[in-house]
Amino acid sequence: MLGNKSYLHCLQRQQAQERWWQKLDEQGYFEQLPCETVAVEFSLGRITAGSVFARQSVPHYNGAAMDGIALCAHDSFGAQETAPKRLRLLQPGEPFAAGGCYAIDTGDVLPNGTNAVIMIEDVHWADGMAEIIAAAAPWQHVRIIGEDIVAREMVIAEHEVITSADIAALLAAGVEAIEVIQRPKVAIIPTGDEIVASREELQAGKILDINSPMLAAALTSWGATALRRPIVKDERRCIVEAMEAALRESDMVIVIAGTSAGRDDYTADVLSELGEVLVHGVAMKPGKPVILAVCQGKPVIGLPGYPVSAMLTAELFLRDVAQARQKLPLTATSEETVTASLVKPVPSTIGMEEYLRVSVGQVEGKTIAVPVRRGAGLISSLTKAQGIMRIDAADAGVNTSTPLPIRLLRHARPAQHTILAVGSHDLALEILGVYLRRRMPHVSLSCANVGSMGGIMAIRNHEAHIAGIHMLDEATGQYNLPFVQRYVPGFLADLTDPTNPMDLTNPTGQTERTGRLIHLALRQQGLIVPPGNPLGIHSLADLTRPGLTFVNRQRGSGTRMLLDKELGKANIDGCQINGYEKEVATHMAVAASVLSGTADAGLGVQAAAQALGLAFIPIAQEQYDLLLNFSPDDERLQAIIEILHTMEFRREIEALGGYSLCKAGETVQVQ
């Protein structure tokens, strides 16, 4: 029986946070924190447990602030240009006598009897005497005791983050060791029969524990100490034992997975046995089944197993608690955001807050956000996105006209430097991004895979810089150009017009038509089959053999169009092919289906077959072009075209297998 899981009654995020926080606060979790003493030299970023006072003054002696002579100011009174005064040079260690002076360097102790320094530039030497032409004020050019810090003065207040300058000030003030708040120890307990700790144990049905290292790294960046515990089986007793051990040794516990409604999901039960579950279920996506509990006065969080859910819920619920537990300023308020509009409306469930991962770039002065794939199990949705857009629980979605704030992930380059590539995806585009970054370190390239037609539409709507496209026009037999002319009429620059600014050698004049369609590669498309081609597949006709399973690409993709055209030529109907209805979204997904054995064949690029060590039967060569939308003088445009012409780039792409870049960078011409 699945049981009556309480998280089905979801709380709003803020309500859930407040409920957990309030309970912890009542139990004094954020007060009377454990402390430890560390060497000041190694205290960077730690939080002072109490205010720290100087043990000595800085400077601790009166010293010269300039190179020159030390004298008694009184002896200089009356000195003028017309009536210089001469002072007798005393030897170091010689007692001071009125009318005398000592040679002195910056930092030297001021000799007894003296109280001022005259800079060496203002001293004349005559007959072994120092001649001065202006009076010195008492204590001029002298660093007097305590000028910087006076003994017993406060050097740093309690609960401050220690900076590098603080380290210098503390050491100067005679403080060598300092009491700081202990880093909270956070135990991480991964659970699940299918979870394994190393690649060696990985086989079908097993999942590598990537959540523990991810969370440990996040905790470290939040100032906490992560204690990774062994993987625990989906057995109630094992989880109880692991929890009890974790509670003994840590200040906070994370239990990964087992938060939802499955038969082996014990996390909430165990936590209510060992303490109090305050929240099970928050109206947010991803992350809905998160559990917030308090056991033995310590916060315990059950994170949903999907990596994106685990990361987001840890950031939203755990980070503040970990930081407050060490009196660190909370990160949330200092996070970098940009405001952007979505390229297409995104629906969302009313009552559920949604965290949408997006690519962000600036196209024609407008900041654009392109959603990346949404699944909570897709960790690459976090690594490939530039930011996270929050859709409010009250909204049924976001339309394209409402700009919304986006929290930037990693130290994202500013949106105005991000090139948005929206269209059919190809590895060559990502490698182009790497080459661009080498030339222009401030620029990044962000790719959103929406298929060739989606790319053309994004260019038409002024929402992308680049669209990668490969679509064959059956009527003309030509690739790409007819579609651009049909769907974005007037967009392409007329390069035969000498006044056209797209002539990069002569950037003058004004015109509306600034787009370019340039060659990237000729790609070999073909059937991807298991190594050694065990079923002896040689042509599309073989796909109709009984017992053979095919995997298809999604409708609207260039590869699907190619397949349908080739099937038409061979007089084969899709319904004759077992698996024709099964669609996946990328070349690599086709190759992965073949590798895993869920399909015997699929159509895709040779590079995908080569990447996964699969066999390949060539079917057709297709033209993959880049539709570019930059202002003519944009240096990124020039850089792209230059890179496409380099041998280094061409060789690297051709080495992927099945690519020819002999025309890369050239403008696509009407045939």
Ligand X SMILES: Nc1nc2c(c(=O)[nH]1)N[C@H]1C(S)=C(S)[C@@H](COP(=O)(O)OP(=O)(O)OC[C@H]3O[C@@H](n4cnc5c(N)ncnc54)[C@H](O)[C@@H]3O)O[C@H]1N2
Smallest gap from residue 39 Cβ to ligand X (A): 36
Nearest alpha carbon to residue 385 among 306, 447, 475, 461: 447
Whole-number minimum distance, CB 280 to ligand MOO, in Å? 12
Count of residues binding ligand X (CB under 6 A)? 27
Q: Give, in degrees to the nearest 5, the angle at Cα 563 between 559 and 566.
A: 135
Of 471, 494, 474, 495, give the one whose Cα is nearest residue 483.
471
**Which of 211, 446, 514, 525 forms a contact with ligand X (CB under 6 A)?**
211
Query: Considering CB distances under 5 to 8 angstroms, the limit depending on partner class, which of ligand MOO, ligand X, none binds residue 259?
Result: ligand X
Q: Beta strands of 372-492 (E only): which ranges? A: 387-391, 397-398, 404-408, 418-423, 444-449, 466-469, 472-473, 478-479
Our CB check for ligand MOO shows the closer of 102 and 306 to be: 306
The length of the chain, given as a count of residues: 671
Select the residue interacting with ligand MOO from 286, 299, 387, 558 (CB under 6 A). Answer: 286
In the complex, least distance from residue 251 CB atom to ligand X, rounded to whole angstroms = 21
Residue 361: name its binding partner from ligand MOO, ligand X, none (Cβ under 5 to 8 Å by kind). none
Task: Please report whether residue 307 would count as binding ligand MOO according to CB under 6 A.
Answer: no
Residue 258 touching ligand MOO (CB under 6 A): no
Identified binder of ligand X from the candidate list 35, 171, 196, 207, rule CB under 6 A:
207
Q: From 125-133, 210-218, 319-327, 365-373, give the range in contact with ligand X by CB under 6 A.
A: 210-218
Dihedral sign (CA 136, 138, 141, 142): positive
Task: Pick the closest to residue 117 from 62, 171, 186 (CA basis).
Answer: 62
Shortest Cβ 381–ligand MOO spacing (Å): 11
Q: Where are the beta strands (DSSP E) in 353-439?
A: 353-363, 366-371, 387-391, 397-398, 404-408, 418-423
By CB neighbour count within 10 A (0-12 exposed, 13-18 middle, 19+ buried), where does 594 fall?
A: buried
User: Using an 8 Å Cβ cutoff, are 300 and 186 in contact?
Assistant: no
**Cβ of residue 275: shortest distance to ligand X, in angstroms?**
19
Nearer to ligand MOO, 304 or 526 (CB): 304
CB of 288 to ligand MOO, least distance (A): 4
| Whole-number Cα distances in Å, 548 to 567, 596, 603, 616 | 17, 15, 14, 16
Q: Which helix (H) or strand (E) holds 192?
A: none
Residue 194 partner contact from ligand MOO, ligand X, none using kind-dependent CB cut-offs of 5 to 8 Å: ligand X
Under DSSP, the state recorded for 145 is T
Report the residue from 41, 105, 194, 497 that binds ligand X according to the rule CB under 6 A.
194
Question: C-beta of 238: minimal distance to ligand MOO in Å?
Answer: 24
**Residue 290 CB partners (closer than 8 Å, separation 6+):** 16, 259, 279, 280, 281, 282, 301, 302, 303, 304, 309, 313, 317
455: partner contacted, choices ligand MOO, ligand X, none (Cβ within 5-8 A by kind): none
In angstroms, give the least distance from the CB of 12 to ligand MOO.
15
- Euclidean distance between CA atoms 175 and 57, whole angstroms: 11
Of the candidates 317, 339, 321, the one whose C-alpha atom is nearest the C-alpha of residue 407 is 339
Determine, following the binding rule CB under 6 A, whether residue 229 of this chain makes contact with ligand X. no
Only one of the segments 204-212, 471-479, 501-509, 617-625 lies at the binding site for ligand X (rule: CB under 6 A); that segment is 204-212
Residue of 190, 632, 658, 665 interacting with ligand X (CB under 6 A): 190
Q: Which is nearer to ligand X, 354 or 625 (CB)?
A: 354
Strand partners for 179: 37
Residue among 3, 34, 138, 262 that touches ligand X (CB under 6 A): 262
Q: How far is the CB of 412 from ligand X (least distance, A)?
A: 25
Asked if residue 257 binds ligand X (CB under 6 A), the reply is yes
Cross-strand partners of 285? 354
Q: Which chain residues interact with ligand MOO by CB under 6 A?
A: 285-289, 304, 306, 309, 376
